[in-house]
């Protein structure tokens, strides 16, 4: 028998909680990186009833809540609606999130989230047992940065999806959080290395300076480690990628030219950081950020409501 000592038996701190906002602070995505998926799945079910929440979904061990910013009233009910997000308020470069819960849901709403990495400040009521509890956490306001990359490999060596993940993992930091990585199936053109798949990375940055440092670092690493002369890297700084959906659909259904890709990128505020032939697939990948289960299927269409 092994006797254990638990420092705090009724707290499981989240790995991180991040708030990604649109430019007008009307919408936000609250992304919770959990250490206990079972508890997070319980929260996902109950929180989905909160008036402010427009959509919920999970990717790996992250739960993502698309919310309308503001304040709401929660009528919590044991077992049916036992916890929720009461308010999401943006003030300058900070976001205040108020959670409420009953019983064990109150523990999650308070200490578990308050002790997450990256939380700037917090306020909590007593929780646990049969209590109703409330917790307020303050986190940095972040904006989304979406990076499409393709053609870092050749038919003899390399794989874009592995290189991009390894680069992103090395650059993951408090200022620029690495949120997701998706492989995107494209139309199998003759010039492909093998499977004709591009990659999209998603980061959440706290400032323009953090974004610039991140992108410069990614470009430098791609130039250093790519084994292809056709590498392409494009960047979209936006809350969503609706503006490039049409292009992505075309690229997944047929062969497009580099000239067309460059023109489309310019017309839709997409920055070209490395302009090799790979920008064709890199641009198509942008629309599939944070959709890794769907992007690998060639017949899947994008539904931005999910």
More confident: 157 or 205: 205
What is the rounded average pLDDT of the residues 35-48?
Answer: 92
What is the rounded average pLDDT of the residues 56-65?
Answer: 95
Residue 193: pLDDT over 70: no
pLDDT value of residue 108: 74
- Torsion sign across C-alpha atoms 168, 194, 185, 267: positive
More confident: 234 or 191: 234
Q: In sequence order, what are the beta bridge partners of 199?
A: 149, 183
What is the rounded average pLDDT of the residues 197-224?
Answer: 97
Band the pLDDT of 302: cuts 50, 70, 90.
Answer: low
Report the distance separating Cα 306 and Cα 137, nearest Å: 26
What is the rounded average pLDDT of the residues 45-49?
Answer: 91
Would you say 186 and 252 are in contact if contact means Cβ atoms under 8 Å apart? yes
Chain segment 263-299, per-residue pLDDT in tens: 999 999 999 999 999 999 999 999 999 999 998 887 6
pLDDT value of residue 101: 83
Task: Tell me which of 91-105, 114-128, 205-219, 257-271 is least confident.
Answer: 114-128
Question: b vs e for 134-167, b when ≥16 Cβ sit within 10 Å of the residue's Cβ?
Answer: bbbbbbbbbbbbbbbbbbbbeeeebbbbebbbeb
What is the rounded average pLDDT of the residues 242-248?
Answer: 93
Report the distance separating Cα 226 and Cα 277, nearest Å: 13
More confident: 53 or 255: 53
* The total number of residues written for the chain in this structure: 306
CB-based contacts of 278, cutoff 8 Å, min separation 6: 149, 150, 151, 152, 198, 228, 230, 231, 232, 233
Nearest to 99 by CA among 111, 85, 81: 85
pTM of the model: 0.91
Q: In sequence order, what are the beta bridge partners of 84?
A: 100
Would you say 13 and 116 are in contact if contact means Cβ atoms under 8 Å apart? yes
* Burial class, 247, CB count within 10 angstroms (exposed 0-12 / middle 13-18 / buried 19+): buried
Q: How far apart are the first and last CA of the chain?
A: 47
Q: What are phi and psi of 95, to 5 degrees?
A: -125, 130
pLDDT value of residue 197: 87
Task: Tell me which of 56-60, 90-94, 157-161, 235-239 is least confident.
Answer: 157-161
Band the pLDDT of 130: cuts 50, 70, 90.
Answer: low
Band the pLDDT of 82: cuts 50, 70, 90.
Answer: confident
Chain segment 170-183, per-residue pLDDT in tens: 999 999 999 999 99
pLDDT value of residue 253: 82
Report the distance separating Cα 8 and Cα 293, nearest Å: 36
Would you say 201 and 147 are in contact if contact means Cβ atoms under 8 Å apart? yes
Residue 58: pLDDT over 90: yes
Band the pLDDT of 3: cuts 50, 70, 90.
Answer: very high
């Amino acid at each position: 028998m092994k006797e254990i000592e638990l420092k705090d038996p009724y707290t499981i701190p989240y790995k991180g909680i991040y708030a990604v906002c649109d430019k007008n602070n009307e919408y936000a995505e609250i992304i919770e990186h959990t250490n206990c998926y079972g508890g997070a799945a319980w929260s996902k079910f109950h929180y989905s009833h909160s008036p402010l929440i427009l959509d919920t979904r999970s990717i790996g061990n992250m739960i993502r809540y698309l919310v309308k910013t503001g304040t709401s009233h929660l009528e919590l009910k044991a077992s049916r609606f036992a916890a929720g997000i009461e308010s999401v308020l943006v003030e300058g470069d900070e976001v205040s999130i108020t959670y409420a819960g009953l019983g064990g849901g109150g523990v999650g709403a308070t200490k578990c989230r308050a002790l997450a990495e990256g939380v700037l400040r917090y306020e909590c009521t007593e929780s646990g047992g049969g209590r109703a509890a409330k917790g307020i956490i303050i986190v940095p306001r972040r904006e989304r940065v979406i990076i499409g990359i393709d053609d870092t490999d050749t038919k003899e060596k390399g794989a874009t999806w592995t290189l991009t993940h390894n680069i992103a993992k090395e650059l993951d930091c408090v200022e620029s959080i690495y949120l997701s990585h998706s492989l995107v199936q494209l139309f199998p053109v003759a010039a492909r290395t093998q499977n004709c798949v591009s990659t999209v990375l998603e980061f959440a940055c706290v400032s323009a300076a953090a974004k610039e440092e991140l992108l410069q670092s990614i470009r430098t690493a791609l130039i250093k480690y790519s084994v292809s002369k056709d590498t392409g890297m494009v960047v979209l700084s936006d809350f969503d990628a609706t503006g490039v959906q049409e292009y992505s659909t075309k690229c997944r259904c047929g062969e497009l030219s580099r000239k067309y890709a460059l023109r489309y990128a310019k017309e839709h505020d997409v920055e070209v950081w490395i302009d090799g032939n790979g920008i064709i697939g890199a641009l198509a990948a942008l629309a599939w950020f944070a959709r890794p289960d769907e992007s690998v299927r060639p017949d899947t269409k994008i539904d931005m409501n999910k």
